[in-house]
A = this chain, B = another copy of it.
């Protein structure tokens, strides 16, 4: 497979010695010119030092490089943590010969431990030396924590016959819940897009992608999505049609990455789309979908390949939406298992069980209360999730 590229951007990822278990843990993205930048960050009240710094830096609308480490979240680390985040930017700026104000930073890993900052800083020259237009896979690997696979999505479009690229890279795979920007995600494009439009596009795209997924219902302190537009393709957005096309391509990248994050959720063996239809409002639909998607009893039943629709209807019933029990239908893909709030019997159950043996499927909950709908992507809840998270720091 051809390595993803985006004109005007170079990437690198190396093993700096931050992760106890070894492996790549320090990455860098650089644009050849200062790019427009947009960012969406965690809504958790506890925010890591890099999040606090980036929120401030992207206000200028300009960014030329992002340095990212895994293995330590640099969160709950006080003033020292802020100084460490700034030092990472400064050292990267020195190595690249650019202003440190043009560098953002992100960290992911354990919360509450001091950054091994000397180790990180010492590795920056090697990191800068490794930059390459084909280095995205190394970068993707360097930002992984409990992820099993790197996550990269590239989409190409064109404006007035000038081709452009949108490329995104993300990492999960725990502390993932919707209604916020979630995990780390970096998207670059060689389009030229002003910062204000870039920010609007990113917020809209995140709301349709990362805000519609859950792995375990916990929200990270380090969630960051950064989008950089370098303009190297020569294509610019000058019409509503071009903007719509860009938004569509950006959405493809974000939803593609969001899907990969859930699929690679800690311990996950199933990717399940929880679709609520027939709701009185989109808000109601999301609330029911969220509650079902987060239910531990639903998620363990998915792991057990058990068409236990009783747990699904019970979760809908506690969602806070005034659902009408006798009106609810529940389908596994095309198999209706529950109609008017009651079981469709053993034959339907056999057919539904066959659906549950698949790796990916949809559960549709029809409330029969109105025209609105919403969906949330979730995964199952496995024995491995518990193992991974009982042992995470050891």
Contact = CB atoms under 8 A, between A and B. Distances in A.
A203 interface: no
Nearest to A219: B318
Given A112-B338, A300-B385, A303-B386, A393 B308 contact: yes
A372 interface: no
A303 B343 CA distance: 36
A387 B392 contact: no
A66 to B, nearest CB: 23
Contacts of A218: 295-297, 311, 314-315, 318
Contacts of A308: 111, 392-393
A325 B81 CA distance: 14
A180 to B, nearest CB: 8
A381 interface: yes
Q: How large is the interface on A (under 10, 10 to 19, 20 to 34, 35 or more residues)?
A: 35 or more
Contacts of A315: 218
A46 B216 contact: no
A130 interface: no
Nearest to A221: B314
A304 B112 contact: no
**Copies of this chain assembled into the complex:** 2
Given A44-B318, A325-B47, A303 B76 contact: no
A381 B46 CA distance: 24
Contacts of A322: 45
Contact of A46 (B43, B220, B316, B340): B316
B394 A387 contact: no
A131 to B, nearest CB: 32
CB-based closest 4 A-B pairs? A111-B310, A304-B390, A46-B317, A300-B389
Interface of A: 43-47, 73, 75-78, 110-114, 174-175, 216-221, 294-297, 300-301, 303-304, 306, 308-311, 313-318, 321-323, 325-326, 338, 340-343, 381-383, 385-387, 389-394
22 contacts: A45-B323, A76-B310, A76-B313, A76-B325, A111-B308, A112-B313, A112-B338, A174-B297, A216-B297, A217-B294, A217-B296, A219-B314, A221-B310, A300-B389, A301-B390, A301-B393, A304-B389, A304-B390, A306-B390, A306-B392, A385-B386, A386-B386
